[in-house]
Amino acid sequence: MRVVILSKALVVGAYHSKLKQLAAHPDLDLIAVVPPSWRDERGELPLEPTPAEGYQFIVTPIRFNGNFHLHYYPQFNRLLKQLKPDLVHIDEEPYNLATFLAQRSACAIKARTVFFSWQNLNRTYPPPFRWFERYVLKHAAAGIVGNRDSEHVWRAKGYRGPLTIIPQVGVEPDIFKPLDERDRGSTSETSLLPNGRTPVSSDFVIGYAGRFVEEKGIDVLLKALSGLSGDWRADLVGSGPEQARLAELTQHLKLADRVRFLPWMPSAQIINYYHSIDVLVLPSCSRPNWKEQFGRVLVDAMACGVPVVGSTCGEIPNVIGEAGLIFPEGDVAALRAQLQRLHDDATLRRDLAQRGRQRVLDHFTQAQIAQKTYEVYCNVMRDA
């Protein structure tokens, strides 16, 4: 079974271990096609190269890089004609131009297709995106969705083919893993700080990692920190248009000496950040056109043995399960109470750290994601 997977998500080197796990199946000839980079609000993320173990890796040009709906791969049609796959895994939303063109190219060579979607809101798109979506849903052999709400969305839109809930990528537990207590105490954080400044001493470090945008609810976190008792500090990693406003809010709340904004880090370096914090908070707030689709940072942190606190927004409670603390989205007092619990109770922190790590091992490793994806491939080809 020859499979081509087209994915801009695979510019992240840490995600390549899923390919290695997939390629370990002897009946699978796997070829990954990726762009040289992907642009988002954090800037341009270049492809992080890793050794291709057991699979083929092809870098292909991308047009309209950074445009979520309109980007596409001008050489992909020619590649498919050369590669002649049995199945094309289009790791992209059904309503995007890249998906439509890839689906059309796959149909031309009579290859089966699988699409992927995070979409958890039932939206009606204007032409031509509505037409792209209709075409893909008509011709795709199966779909993979990253959360429970997404399954409901595509069923409501009329898709009747197989749908399987599988996150796009998992965690490599041998890389994202807890530090021993003796290592934790000796870990230096100086490399995390700009200009080589010395870290502020603190017993309890609260973390956030992600985009600095309104819907991530960082202002809720900052307001919750105002009034939090004890010795603590907060390290917020990321970038985005809200950073200046959030920095002003820390000044207004008189938190500037306790809250630091750190630049986004590559996947390898972010592990050191997780090892430097005592709790990770994802305080996302739903908007009419957005709710949290997964919360990748949650599973990364849990894998590293970091307790997590998340809001009730979107998929967050389903990701955390019983392995962390939940608060109603937008509720400042409730978030402050959960952080105070963790600050005051080292036993609770240890218990959640263990439960979070185990939840990742049970549900979110790269090996599990790869195995479930392989089973989708097999079912598609068997049904053919």
Q: Flag whether the pTM goes above 0.75.
A: yes
Model confidence at 179, in pLDDT bands (50, 70, 90)? confident
What is the pLDDT, as a whole number, of residue 46? 94
Say which amino acid occupies 203.
D
Q: Please give the helix or strand (H or E) that residue 355 lies within, else none.
A: helix 346-363
Q: Residue 86, class by beta-carbon neighbours within 10 Å (0-12 exposed, 13-18 middle, 19+ buried)? A: middle
Contact 307, 324 (CB under 8 A): yes
Give the mean model confidence (pLDDT) for residues 248-261: 97
Say which amino acid occupies 271.
I
Q: Residue 139, class by beta-carbon neighbours within 10 Å (0-12 exposed, 13-18 middle, 19+ buried)? A: middle
What is the pLDDT, as a whole number, of residue 196? 37
Q: Which fold has domain 181-363?
A: Rossmann fold (3.40.50)
Provide the residue ranges of all domains of the chain, joining segments of one domain with +.
2-170+365-383, 181-363
For 4-29, b where at least 16 C-beta lie within 10 A, e where not — what string? bbbbbebbbebbbbbbbbbbbbeebb
Q: Which fold has domain 2-170+365-383?
A: Rossmann fold (3.40.50)
User: What rounded mean pLDDT belongs to the chain?
Assistant: 93
Task: Give the chain's count of helices (H) and strands (E).
Answer: 14, 15
What tens digit of pLDDT does each residue of 339-374 get?
999 999 999 999 999 999 999 999 999 999 999 999
What is the pLDDT, as a whole number, of residue 14? 83
Q: Residue 315, class by beta-carbon neighbours within 10 Å (0-12 exposed, 13-18 middle, 19+ buried)? A: buried
Q: Give the residue with greater pLDDT, 45 vs 313.
A: 313
What tens digit of pLDDT does each residue of 134-170 get?
999 999 999 999 999 999 999 999 999 999 999 998 9
Please enumerate in sequence order all residues whose Cβ is within 8 A of that of 181, keeping only pairs 6 or more positions apart, or say none. Answer: none
- Answer left, alpha or beta for residue 230, where phi above 0 means left and psi between -120 and 50 means alpha: left
**Topology agreement, domain 2-170+365-383 and domain 181-363:** yes
Alpha-carbon span 347 to 235, nearest angstrom: 23
Share of the chain above pLDDT 70, in %: 94
What is the pLDDT, as a whole number, of residue 113? 98
**Residue 185: count of CB within 10 angstroms of its CB:** 8
What is the pLDDT, as a whole number, of residue 202? 52
Is the pLDDT at 104 greater than 80? The verdict is yes
Model confidence at 266, in pLDDT bands (50, 70, 90)? confident
Residue 174 C-alpha from the chain's centroid: 18
Model confidence at 246, in pLDDT bands (50, 70, 90)? very high
